[in-house]
């Protein structure tokens, strides 16, 4: 390769000198990823294989038999990481350009933990119709679509419509990645505490993308008594301010249990708190929970219940942070889920594939299960392959695998 410096003469705005000495900014200069060729191109002969005239034969073969597309292009291993920049980390609606460092980070994690080639696609529109149409038109370029940091409730409609339109995996990680990892951790917590799926009382704080998906997967896993709260309190049928996704969720949770009211009311006697909302739960509310409760405070960087407080009452504590035990982190799920889907050439990611991912994650802990180890580390090398294998198997079981 000809030696180029792709970022010569970088002058990072001397007005802000702090950035020059910040390791985060230093690491981000020029971004975090690049394209690499997997073929040699050192002379005319190699050029004539990888490009004209040789490449024409491959084009003609795919035109004649579209089934060859995945075999002879990189697409079967690629995922578009698509955002509109409206719900980025805890920062909110910062727009598509400011969202890019997160999307690059996601792409790097896809490669590192799943061997997947991910491309950040930051869209200059927040209109649901336009997002859907744009992704549908792009779809031939990719083997899967990972939706990221699109605000609720638009994210639900975007995902649903794309799933209907496309025959490749479509996955909103803020929903389903979070849901898979929370379920995995909760399954092990239930096992350790001797609680039961059909009697455990769960409080989910937050009814955005993550809250909705976590609640859905807990219901699918057989948990029956869940109260879901947004900023106005528990979702239930008498509230007139619910959007359709919250209304549907109310029907499957508080509407059936009759457990309505404030956070303090539903936490009284609850077995498990799952924070997906930010804010702080008062200590007296934590103290009112049932014996040996399970507390997952997943807001980053400040958990809804600080571990120091949580440990005074809870038997099991988890956070989203890497500096405490039991880190519940999406990176445990999405790379293996797409790896498994791609290995099976799956046309979709089914509920069965998500449940299988959660079960395989929980199973990695195995006999080492203890209060401060209910979920493996993101750097445990067993994680990606185990999840991938379970997901591919589930894809075949669910009839969405093409191989």
Residues 372-401 that bind a second copy (CB under 8 A): 378-379, 381, 384-385, 388
- 13, 231, 258, 308: which one contacts a second copy (CB under 8 A)? 13
Size of residue set near a second copy by CB under 8 A: 124
**Minimum distance from residue 257 beta carbon to a second copy (Å):** 34
> Which residues touch 151 (CB under 8 Å, ≥6 apart)?
86, 87, 93, 208, 209
Determine the Cα–Cα distance for residues 258 and 235; give it in Å rounded to an integer: 11
**Minimum distance from residue 374 beta carbon to a second copy (Å):** 18
Q: Which residues are catalytic?
A: 51, 106
Written as one string, the DSSP assignment of 96-124 is HHHHHHHHHHHHHHHHHHH--EEEEEE-S
Q: Which DSSP state fits 295?
A: E
Strand order in the sheet with 170-172: 117-122, 78-83, 144-147, 170-172
Segment interacting with a second copy, rule: CB under 8 A, options 71-79, 152-160, 177-185, 259-267: 71-79
Segment interacting with a second copy, rule: CB under 8 A, options 11-19, 153-161, 178-186, 264-272: 11-19
Residues 16-55 that bind a second copy (CB under 8 A): 16, 19, 22-25, 27-39, 41-44, 47-55
**390 within 8 A of 343, measured Cβ to Cβ:** no
**Minimum distance from residue 372 beta carbon to a second copy (Å):** 16
Residue with smaller CB distance to a second copy, 69 or 373: 69
Residues 289-318 that bind a second copy (CB under 8 A): 300-301
CA distances from 47 to 52, 54, 69, 74, 214 (A): 7, 8, 21, 18, 50
Site track for a second copy across 121-150, x = CB under 8 A? xxxxx----x--xx-xxxxxx---------
Residue with smaller CB distance to a second copy, 304 or 343: 343
Cα dihedral value 188, 189, 192, 196, nearest 10: -100
**Minimum distance from residue 126 beta carbon to a second copy (Å):** 10
Q: Hey, what are 191's tokens?
A: 């096992």
Residues 328-357 that bind a second copy (CB under 8 A): 331, 339, 342-343
Determine the Cα–Cα distance for residues 285 and 96; give it in Å rounded to an integer: 39
């Amino acid at each position: 390769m000809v030696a180029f410096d792709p970022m010569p003469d970088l002058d990072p705005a001397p007005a802000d000198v702090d950035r020059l000495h910040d390791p985060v900014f230093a690491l981000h200069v020029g971004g975090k990823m690049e394209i690499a060729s997997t073929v040699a191109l050192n002379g005319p002969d190699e050029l004539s294989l990888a490009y004209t005239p040789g490449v024409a034969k491959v084009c003609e073969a795919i035109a004649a038999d579209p089934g060859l597309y995945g075999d002879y292009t990189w697409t079967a291993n690629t995922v578009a990481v698509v955002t509109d920049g409206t719900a980025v980390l805890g920062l909110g609606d910062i727009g598509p350009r400011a969202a890019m460092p997160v999307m690059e980070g996601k792409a790097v994690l896809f490669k590192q933990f799943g061997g997947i080639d991910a491309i950040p696609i930051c869209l200059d529109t927040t209109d649901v119709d336009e997002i859907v149409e744009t992704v549908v038109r792009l779809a031939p370029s990719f083997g899967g679509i990972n939706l990221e940091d699109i605000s609720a409730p638009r994210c639900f409609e975007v995902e649903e419509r794309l799933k209907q339109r496309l025959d490749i995996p479509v996955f909103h990680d803020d929903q389903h990645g979070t849901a898979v990892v929370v379920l995995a951790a909760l399954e092990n917590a239930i096992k350790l505490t001797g609680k039961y799926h059909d009697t455990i009382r769960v409080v989910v704080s937050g009814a955005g993308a993550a809250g909705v998906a976590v609640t859905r997967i807990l219901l699918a896993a057989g948990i029956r008594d869940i109260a879901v709260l947004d900023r106005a309190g528990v979702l239930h049928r008498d509230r007139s301010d619910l959007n359709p996704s919250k209304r549907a969720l109310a029907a499957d949770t508080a509407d059936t249990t009759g457990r309505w009211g404030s956070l303090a009311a539903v936490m009284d006697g609850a077995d498990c708190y799952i924070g997906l909302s930010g804010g702080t739960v008062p200590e007296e509310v934590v103290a009112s929970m049932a014996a040996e409760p399970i507390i997952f405070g997943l807001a980053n960087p400040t958990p809804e219940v600080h571990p120091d407080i949580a440990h005074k009452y809870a038997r099991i504590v988890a956070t989203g942070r890497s500096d405490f035990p039991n880190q519940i982190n999406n990176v445990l799920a999405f790379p293996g889920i797409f790896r498994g889907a791609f290995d099976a050439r799956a046309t979709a990611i089914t509920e069965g594939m998500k449940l299988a991912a959660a079960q395989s994650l929980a199973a990695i802990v195995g006999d080492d299960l203890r209060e401060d180890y209910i979920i493996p580390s993101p750097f445990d090398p067993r994680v990606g392959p185990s999840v991938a294998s379970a997901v591919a198997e589930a894809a075949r079981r669910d009839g969405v695998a093409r191989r």
